[in-house]
Amino acid sequence: MKARLFCVVILWGTALWLAAPISTTGSEDGIDPPAKGPTVEDKGENHKEASGNKQTARALKNTKKTANEDRPWIIKERPSKKPETPPKPPAPVKWKDDAQRLQCETLLKKLQKSLFKARTYSIRGDTCATARHADGFLDLANRCNKKCPEGFIKSNGYSEKIVQNVKVLSELGKKACLDK
């Protein structure tokens, strides 16, 4: 049955292909292709109409959207008007001794891991783990502020805005975890 159906489809496709007219340019038949634009006979009557069509075509051409405008999901990067100023190098941190420096660097590594885990669990939707790791981050940030030189966290990229956002993550995570 499948073989018969296959043969019928092949024969039908071949018949359609043979029955289709072969496109020609017209030069073999002695027919010239039509001239582009209005002819001499048309200029008197349709001159205004033809110029109106040209203006319409220009207007359509000018209003065409670019590929980026057609796709709103593509992030558009706007050129900045401000000249790029290089960031200031962080001020050198003054340590009391090597033990303090070592302790602060260890706290910084733990701080990075804790923030990474809080963000990861937040993205995955695990509210309880997000709250737990956000609290750990806040605890480590407080310890760094107390035991390390002033501005140590800020000089390593942890601004007040980041700490504030993690506080909000912690509060929302606790609230959602308790509602479960």
Q: What's the pLDDT tens digit per position in 106-139?
A: 999 999 999 999 999 999 989 999 999 999 999 9
Cα distance between residue 118 and residue 130, in whole Å: 5
Q: In this predicted model, what pLDDT tens digit does every residue of 11-51 receive, in sequence order?
A: 666 766 666 666 555 444 555 555 555 554 444 445 555 55
164 pLDDT higher than 80: yes
Domain limits, the chain = 98-179
Cα distance between residue 50 and residue 62, in whole Å: 18
Can you give the pLDDT at residue 96? 86
Q: In this predicted model, what pLDDT tens digit does every residue of 70-103 receive, in sequence order?
A: 666 666 667 767 767 776 776 677 888 889 899 9
The radius of gyration computed from the CA coordinates of the chain, to the nearest angstrom, equals 36
172 pLDDT higher than 50: yes
Residues 114 and 137 sit within 8 Å (Cβ to Cβ): yes
